[in-house]
């Protein structure tokens, strides 16, 4: 078992602790804490449909004007969900405070998803999500995408890794208001033993899965 620590700063505006990116300095007095992560040192393996779940995080209408390249990540998210439907991979979707921020954008087709849940915390790892994962036998990996990279995506990745689940973040299907926030978050997530992939790599994995199934038939 390997132990790592994440440094977190208490954000007054959000009323909770958030992770500090590597190299970030604090010039004012504030509350910080160290959060231990106990993780098994393993090499991130290839994705297989039978042991994978897709997490789509907060792709909501009110974020459209604020998030960098939002249209691009919607396009990639659409293709990810199409691939999930073809391969029979469960999909879990969250919406951050939908009463105020709206529902998932219309371009994202939620046909056949396992869960669509509202949330008011950053992480997608809600009790209902944990219960859903427990119902799916042999879950080993989560493919994670959505917004914002430095808040909800990062917190979700760290919590899943801490629970022993491999996390594969699709880099071109996640973004933030600031590209610097996005960059630091992907770096922290990668350091925490999660994998940061681009859609083209995930697409190649789709092809590999399909070929395996074809050869078995």
Let me know if 58 is a catalytic residue.
Answer: yes
Question: Per the residue annotation, which of 19, 56, 57, 119 is the catalytic one?
Answer: 119
Question: Per the residue annotation, which of 19, 56, 57, 152 is the catalytic one?
Answer: 152
Let me know if 152 is a catalytic residue.
Answer: yes
**CA 188, 91, 124, 149 torsion: positive or negative?**
positive
Tell me the C-alpha distance between 121 and 180, whole Å: 22
Tell me the C-alpha distance between 199 and 205, whole Å: 10
Nearest CA to 117 out of 107, 106, 104, 105 is that of 104
Tell me the C-alpha distance between 190 and 136, whole Å: 26
Let me know if 57 is a catalytic residue.
Answer: no
Report the alpha-carbon angle 5-133-79, nearest 5. Answer: 95
Nearest CA to 145 out of 92, 101, 107, 88 is that of 92
92: β partners: 55, 115
Question: Per the residue annotation, which of 19, 56, 57, 58 is the catalytic one?
Answer: 58
Residues with active-site annotation: 58, 119, 152
């Amino acid at each position: 078992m390997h132990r790592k620590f994440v440094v977190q700063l208490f954000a007054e505006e959000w009323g909770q602790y958030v992770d500090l990116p590597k190299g970030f300095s604090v010039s004012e007095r504030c509350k910080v804490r160290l959060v231990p992560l106990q993780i098994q040192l393993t090499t991130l393996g290839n994705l297989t449909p039978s042991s994978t779940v897709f997490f789509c995080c907060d792709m909501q209408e009110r974020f459209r004007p604020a998030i960098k390249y939002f249209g691009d990540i919607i396009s990639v998210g659409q293709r990810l969900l199409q691939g999930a439907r073809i391969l029979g991979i469960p999909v879990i979707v969250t919406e951050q405070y939908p009463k105020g921020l709206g529902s998932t954008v219309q371009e994202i087709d939620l046909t056949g998803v396992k869960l669509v849940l509202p949330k008011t915390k950053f992480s997608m790892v809600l009790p209902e999500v944990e219960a859903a994962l427990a119902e799916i036998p042999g879950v080993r990996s989560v493919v994670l995408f959505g917004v914002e990279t430095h808040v909800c995506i990062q917190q979700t990745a760290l919590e899943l890794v801490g629970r022993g689940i491999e996390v594969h973040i699709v880099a071109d299907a996640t973004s933030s208001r600031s590209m610097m926030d996005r960059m630091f978050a992907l770096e922290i997530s990668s350091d925490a033993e999660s994998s940061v992939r681009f859609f083209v790599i995930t697409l190649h994995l789709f092809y590999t899965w399909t070929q395996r199934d074809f050869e078995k038939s």
